Amino acid sequence: MNKKLQIICILSLFSLFWLGGYAQQDAQYTQYMYNTISVNPAYAGSRGVMSIMGLHRSQWVGLDGAPRTQTLTVNTPIGDSERLGLGLSVVNDEIGPVDETYINIDFSYTIPTSEYGKLSFGLKAGGHLLNVDFQQLTQFNSNDNLFENNIDNKFSPNVGIGVYYHTDKFYLGLSAPNLLETDHFDESTTDDSSTAISFLAEERINYYLIAGHVFDLSTEVKFKPAVLTKLVFGAPLQVDLSANFLLYDRLTLGLAYRWDAAVSALAGFQVSDSMMIGFAYDRETTELGQTQFNDGSYEVMLRFELFKKYNRMLTPRFF
């Protein structure tokens, strides 16, 4: 077995066997500030227009079977009062032999707290499908019952909650997009014809704290620091720090740091009032980033928004 194949087998097995206190985590994003609804249902409708966003992430490019994520979200306010919001998110996450698809509907209710501030409460409901193709793994024990039968479209329900406060210059959100802890297992028959359950993975609750602020440095330059913190009991704390600059209300340039994991470069361009495109590149700061098979991680994002004729956006929203 060559080194490249050894590495991907280790990564694939590691993603499958989160034994004991280890947790299976949600997909991660570098451009999280444009993808808030995936982790916080209270974000639905907060932009005041119908917003459609697609994002693709290829992680650890160069490694066969490395993580890949595709995300499609739609969210919009309902009614003229803009107190009710509705959203739909579809996320496909692949790593090695594991393929998961998340489909969720988001509801939000917004309360004005001042002339500038709004507080939204959100509910996420849906589920996800799990597929595991054990034939993609190199099996050291061909007689292991754990790998006899693939897992095909195993459905698990999902319920999540969130709260989101924002003004034109500031936002703060706290959420848990999946409150149901699910054990994924494989049923197999032992020599005495009884059914044994082999533990594969356990879904744990992912808690998110997201915040950001926009500073007007001049009429042409805006600065927005942002942070996303993800807490999963049994897994390392994830902290993403980013600093973006918006130039002439069109071009966005920035840098980001994922605590003890990666550094990133971000770029975005507001093509028109309705369309924005964004790119991000991550470089691992861990030993994995030093391997010859890892060319970093890439993200591309496209957002399209539908405006009413009397509700054109005078300046681009930064979040």
pLDDT tier for residue 1 given thresholds of 50, 70 and 90: very low
Give 40-92 pLDDT, tens digit per residue: 999 999 998 999 999 999 988 877 778 899 999 999 999 877 799 999 999 99
Give yes or no for a contact between 45 and 76, defined as CB atoms under 8 angstroms apart. yes
Q: What is the pLDDT of residue 82?
A: 79
Q: Dump pLDDT digits (tens) for 261-286.
A: 899 999 999 999 889 999 999 998 87
Which residues lie closer than 8 Å to 317 by C-beta, 6 or more apart? 47
Q: What is the pLDDT of residue 278?
A: 96
pLDDT at 65: 79
Mean predicted confidence (pLDDT) in 296-319: 74
Q: What is the mean pLDDT of the chain?
A: 82
**Separation CA 185–CA 258 (nearest Å):** 32
pLDDT at 4 over 70: no
Bigger pLDDT: 25 or 91?
Answer: 91
Distance CA 260, CA 282 (A): 13
Q: Which residues pair with 201 in a beta bridge?
A: 184
186-235 per-position pLDDT tens digit = 554 444 544 444 555 566 789 999 999 999 999 999 999 999 999 988 78
Q: Give the tens place of pLDDT for each residue, 172-186.
A: 999 999 898 766 555
pLDDT-based confidence at residue 140 (cuts at 50, 70, 90): low
Instruction: Decide if pLDDT at 26 tops 50.
Output: yes
pLDDT at 290 exceeding the cut of 80: no
Q: Is the pLDDT of residue 254 over 50?
A: yes
